[in-house]
Structure 1
Amino acid sequence: MKKMQNWLIDLNAITLGSEALENIMSLANQLKPKTIHFIHVAKKVELPADLKSEFPDLQQVEIKSQAEKVMELAASELSKEIEVSVTAKIGDVLAEILNVATENQSDLILTTCSASVITRVIKEAPCHVMVVPEKKVDVKSIFIPIDFSKQTELSMELVNALDTNLSIENVQAIHFYKDASYYIQKVCESPYEVEELIKERIELNGKLNTYSKHKRERFTADHSHLNDLKVSDYKVSKGIDPHRAVNEAIQQSNSQLIVLGAFTNKEDQPGLLGKVPYSMNFNDDKYYIVAKEGAFIDENKSLFKAILNFA
């Protein structure tokens, strides 16, 4: 598989014997990454001096035992083609995950929605992050919010790689964009001004609709190799939080795997809507992949400017 060759699995969030780990083992045997590195970080506990002197390796015994169990499980459950290693240490969970991901040149960190540091891992990770469901789920369908940005291109690289290696039955893509009410705002003092405002918004909405239609047609043609690709649009009106719109569409989707762009630099009302909202709600019956890999959005290239160039 071209993407996601070196995995890092957060065992602080994914316990041995859990359905989340079963999901990971199943994915690994289908996607066949080159390496899988497990990491378990035990929080340092301050022990009484006399206890520490009597049992200097008290915590080390626990993490060593964890590492041995992981290696035994990997040997019995994973393809022999996959190289497996384990890091078990005492320290700060977030810092150690990020350090090991960087040192190992990981291109995918796997965790769950119950992880205590999930938001910070997604924001600070140097690579893609997958949030794994905590109940057994087989991936048959992919959902991706799109905005035709560089981040959408990056996300689609992952979709193409996954479609090649998994038995994907269909892919649903939705183009999220703000309608004219976001761009044309006036204080009207007469019926005439209200009428003019409505006309201006109708005209701009026509341009927005045309733009979205042409971009979706081009997108469909470029990705026609995907199984049963369906592309639609979602217009977000003023007063509706774009983050919430994306969240609600995800909740209503029947897809088991959601592919999202990395966090935007702007927390409030991002101009592009193919990215992870800060208010993201992760369901425990879906997989989520946050596409990162150093692809950053140019927030100055708004959809409105693209419309003017297209018109």
Structure 2
Amino acid sequence: MKNFTKAMVGLDLSKMDDILVKKIALLSKILGIEKLYFIHVAKDLSLPEEITKNFPDLVAPADESIKADIRGTINENPFPKEIEIEVIVEEGKPLDTVLRWAKIKDVDLIIMGRKESLEGSGSLAKNMAHRAPCPVLFLTEKAEPKIPQKILIPLDFSDHSRMSLEFAHNLTQNTDAKLLGLHVYSVPSGYYKTGKSYEEFAEIMEGHAKKDFEKFFEKNNLQPIDCLYKCKDDGNEGRFIVRVSLEEKADLIVMGSRGRTASAAALLGSVAEKLVNINNSVPMLIFKKKGETMSFMDALKKI
């Protein structure tokens, strides 16, 4: 997929919406977006009976009022004129409803905010990464709004790494971003049985990783990039990747996820899952093959 033609943005009516919309206005053109769906899902849109009694002139439906507020936020930002924008306000379970509409609208990308200091657990964003039928872009609360200049790509030399690299290379055609690979390895616990020291075995592991890197690029006919080889000294791979990305001043992490068949729910790999769970500071794109989490007819039945 070269471009994310249609994207869906999840909003929660918090201060994060202002941050998120501002960043999307900046990034939408380089992502190749032609249609944007902004969606907010409320558990209950009906007004309490006591409020309707006390304020009988309050006749505007709640969903229309929310749509107006969202459109007001959108209009405050300089979106490219050629991008078509639609606002959806629905009642229901947030995760299931967003996924249903993502399927119905056949979106290529879901965009979510990641809070750091603002109130909110972030559970919806984490669950979205697991169940989304397409790539998910997480834009963080405190990262500076900017076009990425350095993109970090964790590599395990799998087909998912290839997809991430191809997308990242395509992104550089519209930016001056530098791509930087990252391969994380660890020294096996039984290394001492070989008679080698920890440092010696780490050097062996790095040597094998460099050979795998060369074979991977040659096999897939990929444009070469610089790559960091890091021996993990932190028990959590996700935390380690975030630490390296901050050290390298990366503006975006692009990582492939593992997927099931097109008719089943998308499944994150273990490292991608740890990264999603831990990372609230560096914008990241979890890249997965666009697939189905429910049939189109099942989605329609739930509207």
- Contact preservation (8 Å) 1:14, 1:20: no
Alpha-carbon deviation of 1:262? 2.5
Contact 1:9 1:39 in 2 (8 A): yes
Report how far residue 29 of structure 1 moved: 2.9
Take 1:106 and 1:15, find their aligned partners in 2: how far apart are those partners? 25
TM-score for the superposition, normalised by structure 1: 0.72
Name 1:247's counterpart in structure 2: 242
Code of the residue aligned with 1:166 in structure 2: it is T
Q: TM-score, normalised by structure 2?
A: 0.74
For the pair 1:289 / 2:285, whether they are aligned, the reply is: yes
Alignment-derived partner of residue 173 in structure 1: 181
Q: 2:259, 2:288 within 8 Å by CA — same for their partners in 1?
A: no
8 Å CA contact retained: 2:239, 2:279: no
Amino acid paired to 1:245? F
> Distance between the aligned counterparts of 2:102 and 2:139, measured in 1?
18
- Cα RMSD after superposing both structures: 3.7
Specify which of 141, 145, 161 is matched with residue 152 of structure 1. Answer: 161
Which residue of structure 1 lines up, in the alignment, with residue 92 of structure 2?
91
Q: How much has 1:93 moved relative to structure 2?
A: 1.3
- 1:260 aligns to 2:269 (yes or no): no
Aligned residue-pair number: 272
Question: What are the within-5 Å matches in structure 2 for residues 3-82 of structure 1?
Answer: 3-12=3-12, 18-44=18-44, 49=49, 61-71=61-71, 74=74, 77-82=78-83
Q: Which residue of 2 aligns with 1:143?
A: 152
Give the distance between the partners of 1:10 and 1:212, measured in 2 at CA: 38
Cα distance in 1 for residues equivalent to 2:239 and 2:181: 17
When residues 70 and 235 of structure 1 are mapped into structure 2, their CA distance, relative to the original with a 3 A threshold, is same
Q: 1:214 to 1:61 in 2, by over 3 A?
A: same
SS in 1 for 2:133: coil
Greater shift, 65-74 or 113-122, is seen at 65-74
- Aligned equivalents of 1:80, 1:50: Cα separation in 2: 43
Residue deviations 1:100-152, cap 9 Å, x none?
11111111111111245111111111111111122432121101111101221
Instruction: Give 1:280 shift.
Output: 3.5
C-alpha separation in 2, matches of 1:289 and 1:134: 15
Q: In structure 1, what is the Cα distance between the partners aligned to 2:110 and 2:280?
A: 18
How far is 1:162 from its partner? 1.4
Q: Structure 2: how far apart are the matches of 1:10 and 1:279? A: 16
SS of the equivalent of 2:277 reads: coil
- Once the two structures are superposed, the pairs formed by residues 192-211 of structure 1 within 5 Å of their partners are 196-199=193-196, 208-211=205-208
Q: Which amino acid aligns with 1:153?
A: R
Local SS of the residue matching 1:209: helix
> What is the letter of the counterpart of residue 272 of structure 2?
K
Against the structure 1 CA distance between its residues 204 and 166, is the aligned structure 2 distance closer, same or farther, given a 3 Å change threshold? Answer: same
SS state of the match for residue 223, structure 2?
A: coil
Give the C-alpha shift of residue 294 in structure 1.
Answer: 5.2
* Alpha-carbon distance in 2 for matches of 1:264, 1:109: 16
1:125 & 1:60 partners in 2: Cα distance? 33
**Match in the other structure for 1:230:** 226
1:217 aligns with 2:218: no
SS in 2 for 1:31: coil
Distance in structure 2 (CA, Å) of the matches to 1:120 and 1:245: 21
CA distance in 1, matches of 2:90, 2:47: 17
1:117 aligns with 2:124: yes
The alpha-carbon distance between structure 1 residues 77 and 209, as it changes in their structure 2 partners (threshold 3 A), is: closer
1:280 to 266, 277, 281: 277
Q: Which amino acid aligns with 1:171?
A: L
Give the AA of the match of 1:198.
G
Task: State the identity %.
Answer: 23
Equivalent residue of 1:118, what SS? helix
Paired residues of 2:160 and 2:258 also in contact (CA < 8 A)? no
Does the alignment pair 1:161 with 2:161?
no
Deviations, residues 21-51 of structure 1 (Å, cap 9, x unaligned): 1111010133331211110112216765565
Q: Which runs of 5+ in 1 are unaligned?
A: 186-193, 266-271, 296-311
Deviation readout 1:134-191 (Å, 9 max, x if unpaired) = 24321211011111012211211221221122231x2211111232x24x47xxxxxx
